[in-house]
Amino acid sequence: MERTLIIVKPEGVQRGLIGQVIGRFEAKGLKVVGLKLMRIPRETAEKHYAEHAGKPFYDGLVGHITSSPVVVGVLEGPEAVSVTRGMMGVTNPKTAAPGTIRGDYGLDIGLNIIHGSDGQESAQREIGIFFASDELVSYERANDTWVVGA
């Protein structure tokens, strides 16, 4: 099983979309193994966005993600990274397909509702930024065999 990080960004929290966003992933069959509401400290945001340091949009990214509470979660399931990315839609909500999170809830690239890890390596790195290993819970769900088979 693969794990990935998601962040319901400030605009998602402020607009009351936490339940709808998380619910879509659960309905798909992904398992929530870590979840918390938090206000991201600047140092944590800088670490999270380190690959963009020095780029013109870096300060805006850090400023935005620290501007309001977010919900940070870890999802688990087969090919969780690619499944999650597909459900999120492309970065720009104006061109994101209807039925995706960004396509259904966003209009502005700077307010695109959700962040998701873009690969397995980044997922591992990002999960480590936001969660200690003892904050992630492994468990069996009664319906797991009905979602991914035996």
Give the start-to-end residue ranges of the domains of the chain: 2-138
Which CA distances in Å does 26 have to 9, 21, 22, 56, 59?
Answer: 18, 9, 6, 36, 33
SS3 57: coil
Taking 90 as the threshold, does the pLDDT of residue 68 lie above it? yes
pTM for the model stands at: 0.95
Tell which residue, 12, 3, 7, has the closest CA to residue 31: 3
Tell me how far apart the alpha carbons of residues 150 and 140 are, in angstroms, rounded to a whole number.
Answer: 12
Q: Average pLDDT, stretch 46-50?
A: 96
pLDDT value, residue 150: 61
pLDDT value, residue 116: 98
The alpha carbon of 138 is separated from its chain's Cα centroid by a whole number of angstroms, namely 19
Active site residue 115: yes
Please tell me which residue in 48, 52, 64, 115 is annotated as part of the active site.
115
Q: For the domain 2-138, what is the CATH code?
A: 3.30.70.141
pLDDT value, residue 31: 97
Percent above pLDDT 90 for the chain:
94
Q: Average pLDDT, stretch 45-71?
A: 96
- The mean pLDDT value of the chain amounts to 96
